[in-house]
């Protein structure tokens, strides 16, 4: 029917999250960037009962769809995108479990939901790109043994649940790789170096060293499914979450710069009353709205069970572009004040660049969009940021 207003229920959720973000995230964003999320903030967010809102009931979720998730993520990221990422205990790993959709994957999600820890996805590896993962899983007796090294793992060192991508059939690329579940501590897995990152510093990023990691047979979660297809669904879902966060970041940057331009006076009038600034702000406002509409459309299409891969990739690319454009422009509008850390916009600019390398990064999204237009299979290995293209954060 082409109706573009939020339902009453969703408007209420939006209001609740907006209030939470204004009270608990925005005022503490520098502390959160430096020290991570406080237990108090985590607890208050948990009280809202919004974790798992988009998961199916079989995974213990509320089955409210990606559109609900999109609205929530945008509002959290409007408070602060780094905090939004840190509040997501499921992260990219939960998206992969949802994409797997097996009873075992759902059971793992349930345990995550009932616990207090966070999940991490160990996918990327450093070094020259190739078709196979260097991390290898071999069958040994009644289980698996894994050896290798993973890079750029968000929250990797302290995660309660980790998913490790490893090569099972050497020379087979993604089709010969497997997903392995590691819950709790394991002597075969330890944290390597901590990467120092450009942005999104609220979540530490680690290297994981895997040496003789022994796992039961059932730890491999993708036995009955095609990994390229699972990864397609994984990146689809993750794209939407990234898009929604990018919209929130863009909106926050726009609104911060807009308010500043009303207050800051130069040459006898507010700087917003000069066309160069006002037009820039107008373009930022357009970028935010366009990205939000793309995100809603993609979430809606996914929830309707329509083929949504292209919509999701398009939304993500559009929103990431909007996020960097708005954050960069906000720094410009604030001038010197934008560059110093008294204002959040320099942080958001760093965050925006970092967000564009999370999951299916912007170039990969374009490749997916083009593949859809050209009628190529969307689970082709060359459309994934892993392992053949340059690695992304997970």
Partner 1 sequence: MIDFTLSEMQETVRQMVHWLAENEIRPIALEADRTHQIPDAFLRKMKELGISSGAISKRAGGDGDGAGESADKKGVKQTNRVAVIGAEEMAWGDPAVILTLPGPGLGGPPVEFMGTAEQKAKYLGIFKDDELRWGAYGLTEPVAGSDVAGIKTTARRDGNHYVLNGRKCFITNGARASWVVVFATVDASKGRAGHRAFVVQKGTPGFSVGKIEEKMGLRASETAELVLEDCRVHQDDLLGGEKHYEGKEGFMGAMKTFDSTRPMVAAMAVGIARAAYEKAVEFTKEHFDLGRPIARYHAVEDLLARSQRRIEASRLLVWRAAYMADAGMPNAKEASMSKAYAARTAVDVLSDLVQVMGAAGVMNDHFVEKWFRDIKVYDIFEGTGEVQRIVISKRILRDLKSF
> Contact residues for partner 1 (CB under 8 A)?
1-7, 10, 67, 258, 261-262, 270, 272-275, 278-279, 281-283, 285-286, 289-291, 293-294, 296-297, 300-301, 311, 313-315, 317-318, 363, 365-367, 369-371, 373-374
Helix or strand holding residue 165 (H, E): strand 161-167
Which residue, 1 or 39, is less far from partner 1 as judged by CB? 1
Which residue, 4 or 39, is less far from partner 1 as judged by CB? 4
CB 39 within 8 A of CB 212: no
CB of 281 to partner 1, least distance (A): 6
CA distances from 27 to 39, 74, 257, 268, 381 (A): 16, 17, 17, 31, 43
Which residue, 26 or 297, is less far from partner 1 as judged by CB? 297
Tokens for 97, please give them: 């479990």
Which residue, 124 or 291, is less far from partner 1 as judged by CB? 291
CB 364 within 8 A of CB 239: no
CB of 57 to partner 1, least distance (A): 21
CB of 34 to partner 1, least distance (A): 33
Residues 6+ apart with CB under 8 A from 356: 320, 323, 324, 362
Residues 6+ apart with CB under 8 A from 349: 199, 253, 324, 327, 328, 330, 331
Query: What is the C-alpha to C-alpha distance for residues 144 and 211, in angstroms, rounded to an integer?
Result: 12
CB of 27 to partner 1, least distance (A): 24
Which residue, 222 or 321, is less far from partner 1 as judged by CB? 321
Residues 6+ apart with CB under 8 A from 150: 122, 123, 124, 125, 135, 156, 164, 207, 208, 210
- Tracing tokens 């919509």 back to the chain, one arrives at 311
Tokens for 357, please give them: 């390398």
Which residue, 62 or 186, is less far from partner 1 as judged by CB? 62
Which residue, 17 or 119, is less far from partner 1 as judged by CB? 17
CB of 284 to partner 1, least distance (A): 9
CB of 332 to partner 1, least distance (A): 16
CB of 377 to partner 1, least distance (A): 14
């Amino acid at each position: 029917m082409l109706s573009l207003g939020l339902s009453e229920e969703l408007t209420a959720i939006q209001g609740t999250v907006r209030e939470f973000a204004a009270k608990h995230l925005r005022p503490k964003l520098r502390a959160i960037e430096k020290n991570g999320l406080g237990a108090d903030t985590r607890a208050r967010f948990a009280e809202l009962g919004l974790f798992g809102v988009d998961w199916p009931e079989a995974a213990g979720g509320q089955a409210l769809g990606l559109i609900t998730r999109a609205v929530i993520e945008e509002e959290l990221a409007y408070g602060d995108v780094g905090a939004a990422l840190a509040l997501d205990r499921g992260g990219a790993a939960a998206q992969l479990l949802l994409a797997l959709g097996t009873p075992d994957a759902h059971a793992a999600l349930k345990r995550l939901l009932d616990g207090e820890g966070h999940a991490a996805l160990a996918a990327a590896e450093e070094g020259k790109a190739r078709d196979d993962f260097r991390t290898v899983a071999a069958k040994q007796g009644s289980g698996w043994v894994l050896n290798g090294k993973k890079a750029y793992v968000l929250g990797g060192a302290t995660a309660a649940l980790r998913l490790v991508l490893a090569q099972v059939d050497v020379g087979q690329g993604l089709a010969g790789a497997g997903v392995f579940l590691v819950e709790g501590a394991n002597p075969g897995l330890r944290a390597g170096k901590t990467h120092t990152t450009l942005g999104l510093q609220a979540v530490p990023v680690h290297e994981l060293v895997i040496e003789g990691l022994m796992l039961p047979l059932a730890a491999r979660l993708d036995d009955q499914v095609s990994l390229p297809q699972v990864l397609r669904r994984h990146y689809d879902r993750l794209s939407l979450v990234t898009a929604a966060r990018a919209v929130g970041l863009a909106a926050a940057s726009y609104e911060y710069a807009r308010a500043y331009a009303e207050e800051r006076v130069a040459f006898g009038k507010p700087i917003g009353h000069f066309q160069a600034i006002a037009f820039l702000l107008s373009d930022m406002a357009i970028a935010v709205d366009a990205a939000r509409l793309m995100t809603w459309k993609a979430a809606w299409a996914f929830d309707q069970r329509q083929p949504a891969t292209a919509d999701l990739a398009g939304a993500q690319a559009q929103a990431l572009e909007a996020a960097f454009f708005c954050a960069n422009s906000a720094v410009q509008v604030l001038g010197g004040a934008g560059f110093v850390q008294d204002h959040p916009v320099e942080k958001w600019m760093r965050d925006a660049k970092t967000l564009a390398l999370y999951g299916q990064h912007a170039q990969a999204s374009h490749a997916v969009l083009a593949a859809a237009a050209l009628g190529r299979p969307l689970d082709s290995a060359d459309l994934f940021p892993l392992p053949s293209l340059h690695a992304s954060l997970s």
